[in-house]
Structure 1
Amino acid sequence: MARVLIAWELGEAFGHLARCLRLAHGLVARGHGVTLALKDLRLPAAQALTPGITVLPAPLTPHRRAGDSPPVNYADVLRDSGFADARDVAARMNAWRGVFSLARPDVLVADHAPTALLAARLANIPHLSIGNGFAIPPAVAPWPSIRPWETVSDQALIAAETRLDQVLDAAQKVLGHTRTVRVRDLFGEHDILDTFAELDHYGARPDGRYVGPIVSVLQALRVAWRSKEGSRVLAYLRPAVPGFAAILQALARLDAEVLCVAPGMSPDAAKRYATRRLRIALAPVDLPPLFEHADLAVGYGNCGFSTQALLAGVPLLMRPRHVEQALLAHRVEALCAGKLLVGKIDADSVTASLQELLDKPAYRQAARAFRSRHADFSPEQVIEQCLFYIERAFPDGWKADSSPHAQDPQENPTACLH
């Protein structure tokens, strides 16, 4: 039996927690001991932890600071997320050492946990990252731009990574380390990408360990479509989505049955926007049965909802909140299976985009092509493959991993025809 520490340090949304929990339960079922160090300790309602799992709080990361300019690559993202001050980084590294002394891990599994990775590297603890791609930059130099729709020079990309390395170097010296670990040293061949190659935020990686998405197991309300005729639109939005009100107004105008899941929306606001054809759910809803009969999905570029839509062959209209979501939305658009809402929007422009996606069959054809390419996708197999890779990272297999990579889904560079 091995001791596994699963750490979640940065990022929002339920996806991180769901991934950590699925892996923890799977590892315990295989006889391993698991410690979860979590950014958010609020487990989902009715979520019971298997005996053998210990939960600890992850060391606190300072609130995100507003930079002078948008981040250009993942190094800049980290600087804007608690890695701008060497003393802060050193304090968190020291706290992670305390977590290590309690958990005594044989391996660290990091879900967007860069400080934990740095501390593990310096402590010679085997480690790997797991994520959808954004927080695991590819092994290229310089790290790629996260703003491909803008012109970003190589000099700017190199400078961002150099600035971050200077902070990490200073933090390591504060703690008395004589050898320097660079930020790109934290990632490597053991990392697991729980996405599909064509949805990787940075593009398909020839050597990427793609296993497919880890599907969350959130307890959700079962809801059915009311009508068997006409178009059906399934939306997943949050009030913080730019243009949220305009999107709801456009959805209410559609000659279609619309179900919008809107976590964080107030009951009073939901009553104001709801109509006979537009239902608004404030609690989690079981999505897969709804996707089976949906004609269109509307979201904000979040991985879970977007991937479920494509696996069901449903095209997407997307209005991202953050750059990570924008990158995914661009990947979906490149597959011709969806469309981005960009710039300033109003109800009229959103209505036109919704109608375009419903009227033009090319979008649905592209989404169904994605579904066909991944017809053999199995959520259970994804977990098994992740557990296998984690076990390969145990100390006896850390230096020489000869296991075959997961088969990479192939991109289909067919031209978009609308």
Structure 2
Amino acid sequence: MSRVLLAWELGENYGHLSTLLPLARMLRQRKHEPIFVVRDLAVASVLLGKEFSFLQAPLPSESNRQSRVPVSYADILSGRGFGKRDVLAGILHAWQVLFDLVKPEMVVAQFAPTAIVAARQASIPSLQMDTGFECPPEVRPYPCFRPWMKITREALLEREDALLQTINVVCGWRSEDLRTALRADLSLLITLQELDHYSGRRGGRYIGPIFSHNTGEKFAWQHTTGKRVFVYLRPFPELRALLAELRQSRAEVIAVIPGIDRELADSFSSEQFRIISQQVRLETLLSQADLVVSHGGHGLTSACLLQGVPLLVFPIMIEQWMTARNLERMKTGLRVSREALRKHGCASALSDLLTDPLYSERAAAVAAKYRSYDQNKTIDRLALTVEQMTAGIQNHQARAH
């Protein structure tokens, strides 16, 4: 039996833990001991409950986070502890204390870059399992994901070099490249190649998406005729306008909106338009949906394309915008900005997606391409990989003694 630490440091909401949870269950089924170290204890309480033990991940305080709008992965790191030597040193020390307490034989990282660096310091093997956005291609500099800001290559390199110097000083390393300093022992991309936020990546090891689609309450479509629209959103300023447009479409709507204002939900709720604030099981809902409306989160988007369902996306984060760009390139979805929603609504996009067969045909083509994809087999192979990596270090330690 091995003790495996599953780390999540960056990103919001349920998606990151939902990615790690199926692997944790498989590891426990194989008689290993998974322990989570998480960014958000409230999210962990909802998803993990009493099923797994979890601890708070070391994070920089709000006052030590940089407010500059990130244009590349280097900026994300800079704003989350890598930009200041004393902050990075403190976070890495806290990870070492956690390692001493937990005594893991393996670290599995999901958007957890300092966990990977700390594992390297402690000579603990690490497996990085990320979507494309969380694991950018190994090019120098990292790609700029806000090209309209016209940041020069020299400026991007300057920011990366500053981070590399900080890491080398704090860790006592002599890494010549930021990518080397941040590299896990094994990096796997848990996405479809078509959904990689950095299209055109070379050398990526794609193993397919992992998402939790069978947890939560069961709901079913009530009508056998008409269009069916599944909605998964978070409350945002334009939500009321969007719900009004959906009601005008006359489709049957099941809308999952955690944290929605009760008064707002009641004003739209009807037999034809159900609004739910808790998690629901997606399997049956997606397989019978004509359209999904979301912010463009990676897990739900992956599940939709594997079911051949087009999407209407309202991005609120840069990685969601990048996902929406991929959907539009494939003609499997459309994107509407918040500004466009305020000024013009989304009736035209809704109508196109519900009536033009192009979008459903293109989504069906993606589903057909990946018809043989089995998430359970991917999780099983991941668990086997973890076992092989921990066995390797255990054999090495045995020989040393």
- TM-score under structure 1 normalisation? 0.86
Worse-superposed segment, 256-265 or 198-207: 198-207
- How many angstroms apart in 1 are the aligned matches of 2:173 and 2:351? 61
3-state SS of 2:385 partner:
helix
What pairs up with 1:32-51 in 2 under 5 angstroms?
Answer: 32-41=32-41, 42-44=44-46, 47-49=49-51
Asked whether the 8 Å contact 2:127–2:186 carries over to 1, the reply is: yes
Amino acid in the other structure paired with 2:319? E
> Shift of the alpha carbon at 1:47?
4.5
- TM-score under structure 2 normalisation? 0.89
What pairs up with 1:27-66 in 2 under 5 angstroms?
Answer: 27-41=27-41, 42-44=44-46, 47-49=49-51, 54-63=53-62, 65=65
3-state SS of 1:393 partner:
helix
Query: In the alignment, is residue 258 of structure 1 matched against residue 257 of structure 2?
Result: no
> Shift of the alpha carbon at 1:352?
1.3
Query: In the alignment, is residue 315 of structure 1 matched against residue 310 of structure 2?
Result: yes
Give the number of aligned pairs: 391
- How many angstroms apart in 1 are the aligned matches of 2:258 and 2:352? 27
> Shift of the alpha carbon at 1:391?
2.9
> Shift of the alpha carbon at 1:37?
1.6
What pairs up with 1:1-400 in 2 under 5 angstroms?
Answer: 1-41=1-41, 42-44=44-46, 47-49=49-51, 54-63=53-62, 65=65, 67-68=67-68, 70-148=69-147, 151-172=150-171, 177=172, 179-180=174-175, 183-185=178-180, 186-187=182-183, 190-216=186-212, 219-240=215-236, 243-275=238-270, 277-342=272-337, 343-346=339-342, 348-394=344-390, 396=392
Change (3 A) 1:354 1:209: same
> Shift of the alpha carbon at 1:98?
0.6
* Deviations 1:272-291 (CA, angstroms, capped at 9, x unpaired): 23345322111112222111
* Deviations 1:26-70 (CA, angstroms, capped at 9, x unpaired): 223223333322223333368442xxx6433221333384634x2
Asked whether the 8 Å contact 1:20–1:36 carries over to 2, the reply is: no
Q: Over the residues paired in the alignment, what is the CA RMSD in angstroms?
A: 2.6
> Shift of the alpha carbon at 1:245?
2.2
> Shift of the alpha carbon at 1:179?
4.2
Change (3 A) 1:178 1:220: closer
Amino acid in the other structure paired with 2:40? D
3-state SS of 1:224 partner:
coil
Query: Which runs of 5 or more structure 2 residues have no equivalent in the other structure?
Result: 395-401
Change (3 A) 1:182 1:197: same
3-state SS of 2:45 partner:
coil
3-state SS of 1:191 partner:
strand
Worse-superposed segment, 333-342 or 147-156: 147-156
Asked whether the 8 Å contact 2:214–2:283 carries over to 1, the reply is: no
- How many angstroms apart in 2 are the aligned matches of 1:20 and 1:46? 10
Asked whether the 8 Å contact 1:249–1:347 carries over to 2, the reply is: no
3-state SS of 2:140 partner:
coil
* Deviations 1:246-268 (CA, angstroms, capped at 9, x unpaired): 21111111121122111110211
Amino acid in the other structure paired with 1:220? G
Change (3 A) 1:159 1:271: same
Change (3 A) 1:298 1:149: farther
Asked whether the 8 Å contact 1:8–1:38 carries over to 2, the reply is: yes
- How many angstroms apart in 2 are the aligned matches of 1:226 and 1:265? 23
3-state SS of 1:311 partner:
helix
Query: Which runs of 5 or more structure 1 residues have no equivalent in the other structure?
Result: 399-418
* Deviations 1:127-172 (CA, angstroms, capped at 9, x unpaired): 1211112111211121112224654432232123123223323433
- How many angstroms apart in 2 are the aligned matches of 1:378 and 1:89? 39
Change (3 A) 1:397 1:137: farther
Asked whether the 8 Å contact 1:139–1:188 carries over to 2, the reply is: no
Change (3 A) 1:122 1:135: same
* Deviations 1:58-110 (CA, angstroms, capped at 9, x unpaired): 21333384634x21110111112333322111101000011111222222111
> Shift of the alpha carbon at 1:2?
3.1
- How many angstroms apart in 2 are the aligned matches of 1:112 and 1:164? 18
- How many angstroms apart in 2 are the aligned matches of 1:120 and 1:28? 22
